[in-house]
Amino acid sequence: MTDSATTDAAAFEAAFKGVFGRAPEGAWAAPGRVNLIGEHTDYNDGLAMPFALPHVTRAAVARRDDGLLRLHSADMDDGTVELAVADLAPGTTPGWVRYPAAVLWSLRQAGHDIGGADLLYDSTVPVGGGLSSSAALQVVTALALTELHGVRDVSRQDLALLCQSSENTYVGAPVGVMDQTASACCTDGHALYLDVRGLGQRQVPLDLDAAGLAMVAVDTRVKHAHADGAYGERRAGCEAAAAALGLPALRDVPFDGLADALAALPDDRLRRLTRHVVTENRRVEDVLALCDAGRVREIGPVLTAGHVSLRDDFQVSCPELDVVVDTALAAGALGARMTGGGFGGSAIVLLEAGDLDRVTDAVAAALPQSRHFTISPSAGARRLW
């Protein structure tokens, strides 16, 4: 993570000119996200409640008419990467540039007449922290390219779906749509209640300051990758469990019918996966009800229960995440859980605002490699200038 995304517009424009030798046509930003509750439910047609971070990926962009896509990141050491738009295809693009390349390829596959471009990126979203740096990169690219080319028939949810499809097909990561939807659709001061099956959304007010609360994201600095086998194995296991139950998705297992569903499954692995998804959907509903009632302080134990389920049933936590959660709770936090796909990344901690220093000091002492930052529900993707 750098501080480059906090620099002013003039400096960002000057940086673009320094790389590409001309002025950009505009600049856009898209945030990372944390998931308050509802983990590994999106690809099970379930429920989630993410919110956008104040940390963003920015893109300064100008169109080209020569069929070239030129990409440069202020946070990478690989210089400017040049690709031929006509040659873009799944499996042909290495490294970080495959994410914006995937977006352009998907827009063209969807019939949008979008050609080459110069794009300069910078970001304050921690890479590999489980905070959706890849979704922010995709969404800012999609928003910039569609707005520059006058594409007006694509909604924010459509953009999110296109970015998900590009990551599934071009990058090869079997992710759900929650991360991209959060980056594209969240609003300032709200969590986003998302019903993935129908893509229904509701902005849920979440004013932590008014409640005397704070939330901290703790990046363990343990890296993860959604394209690896562990994430795909969980998704395939959920699909196998739904098929064994004769259901379209684990979303269709009612909470009151969970015991019967578990008894009908052939092995413990599928039972654990199913139990997590069904109980996690219920936890989303519980958090929504508490937020609607203005009882935000009471969501802490629900968050912690979600971590226990992710750790024990879904088995996507890691020792470092468990240290953060256990240490924060022992120091007086109201609740804590891992956030994101797992296998590393970050945890979120809900606490009384007055306990911030005590809790974060305890976590830093227990896991010195970690870094933390205070977070609050922030705005989704937007044009900057």
Residues with catalytic roles: 179
Q: How many CA atoms lie within 13 A of 5 on its CB side?
A: 24
Query: What residue type is 373 in one-letter code?
Result: F
| Cα 354 from Cα 193, distance rounded (Å) | 28
The single-letter DSSP state of residue 50 is E
Q: How far apart are the first and last CA of the chain?
A: 23
From the number of C-beta atoms within 10 Å of its C-beta (0-12, 13-18, 19+), residue 203 rates as middle
Composition of the chain by helix, strand, coil, percent to 5:
45, 20, 35
| Cα 58 from Cα 104, distance rounded (Å) | 17
The stretches of 131-220 forming alpha helices (DSSP H) are 133-148, 156-166, 178-185
15-44 burial by CB neighbour count: b if 16+ within 10 A, else e?
A: bbeebbeeebebbbbbbbbbbbbbbbbbbb
The single-letter DSSP state of residue 299 is G
Please state, in angstroms and as integers, the Cα–Cα distance from residue 369 to each residue in 267, 324, 355, following that order.
38, 11, 21
